A and B are shown apart, each in its own frame.
Chain A
Amino acid sequence: MGRAKLPRKSTNIDMTAMCDVAFLLLSFFILTTKFKPAEAIAVETPSSVASKVAPNKDFVLVTIDKDGKVFLTMDDEQKKELVANTINGERNLGINVAAFKKAGFIGAPLTGLNSFLSIPEENRKGDQLPGIPCKDSTNNELTYWMQVVKAAYAGEKMDLLLKGDNVAKYPAFRNVIAAFKKNELLKFQMVTNPENAPEGSELWKSSMKGEKQED
């Protein structure tokens, strides 16, 4: 009995379907990707098990870099204008309000604020700037900044964030907290990288049961 002759199949594969999938994925990633803006202040945040996503709107962010220098970032331009006008009125510094509004972050003592704002935005690098003085209770300009910022947000929702570098020393952190406390800003959030709860711990057990972490 002769075997049935198998027709010889072509080794050419139709690539169209694969091409479709590839470009579908490609368009997905292109559309969902968000380029990380080049960070002027290099900060490596520690990890925590907190699962709440950090707010990215209406925030006031205080950054502590690895040398313990303190920077202030606000996202709301209207509030920034208010803050600039208040400082001009109270301290008579004559700072450029338009430049202040555009500035991504503030990292200079009040007296050096004008020269800080005259530096082009792309040249403002955290490691070359003095930062906001926050060393001790006598010369804690951050306290003043927080007071002005708090007044600008009066009655409105304000998310106070603190972003610290892994190797920043504790005294820097303590001084920032002291500045918050003086203005009765007692609730704040620390920006961290997400991390899973260690297996077997109580938090892990409760999250396995489907309980939500309380805020």
Chain B
Amino acid sequence: MAELDTSSGGGHKKGPGVKKGKKLSTRVDLTPMVDLGFLLITFFIFTTTMSQPTALKLFLPDDKITDEPNKAKESGVLTILMGADNHIYYYEGQLKSDGSNFLSASYNGENSIRDVILKKKADVRSRSRDAENPYKDFVVVIKPGVECNYKNVIDILDEMAINVVKKYALVDISDGEAQLVKISDASSQTSASN
């Protein structure tokens, strides 16, 4: 291994005047070197970036094609609205004038938007008469409010991928809905502080 045989072979006798040199071992203590090695390894393990950023694809519809509007059946539509401070709301079908079907959800945990999407999806499936493609009428409309942030939008788009929603649309929020979101945001703020 890391040592050399330094013992003089053959048993050759030296002359009477020659002093016997002290035999030094060539064995080197490698422990500090190993220490240093592992220190550097640790450094490189921590500084190395193994994970590459990924890309989430998004295809926008062309605004110019207006002769064939994407008509959706009311029973299959779920509209998701995002407000400030990670608030999220949804309604099924069309928004009732009294706002009674305007409900609130959360991004994760209890009453999560995922459960809402899955419930709606199951609902659409149970009512569908098309055995080939039972989710044909299922459309999720995403309406981010002006106060929500980029992460919220990505989270919802991600939710579409997670729950395998084939049809979804990113739509601008209408004034009435924006008002409703604003009011709901404000009321949940006060209820949280109480």
Question: Interface on A for B, CB 8 Å cutoff?
Answer: 14-16, 18-19, 22-23, 25-26, 29-30, 32-36, 45-55, 64, 161, 164-174, 177, 180-181, 184, 186-195, 197-198, 201-204, 206, 213, 215
Contact = CB atoms under 8 A, between A and B. Distances in A.
Contact of A189 (B1, B29, B58, B62): B58
Contacts of B51: 193-194
A48 B58 contact: no
B100 interface: no
Contact of B154 (A19, A46, A161, A180): A46
B37 A19 contact: yes
B192 interface: no
Nearest to A18: B34
Nearest to A165: B150
Q: Chain A: interface secondary structure?
A: mixed
B52 interface: yes
A170 B152 contact: yes
A25 B30 CA distance: 17
A46 B34 CA distance: 40
Contact of B34 (A22, A35, A213): A22
B113 interface: no
Interface of B: 1-2, 29-31, 33-34, 37-38, 40-41, 44-45, 47-49, 51-63, 82, 114, 144-155, 157-158, 161-164, 170, 172
B49 A190 contact: no
Residue of B45, B48, B59, B61 contacting most chain A CB atoms (<10 Å): B48
A30 B44 contact: yes
Q: Chain B: interface secondary structure?
A: mixed
B162 A50 contact: no
Nearest to B154: A46
Contacts of B40: 26, 29-30
A15 B152 CA distance: 54
Contacts of B37: 19, 22-23, 25-26
Contact of B149 (A55, A170, A191): A170
B59 A167 contact: no
16 contacts: A18-B34, A19-B34, A29-B44, A34-B48, A46-B154, A48-B158, A49-B158, A53-B53, A165-B150, A166-B149, A168-B150, A172-B150, A187-B57, A194-B53, A194-B54, A203-B163
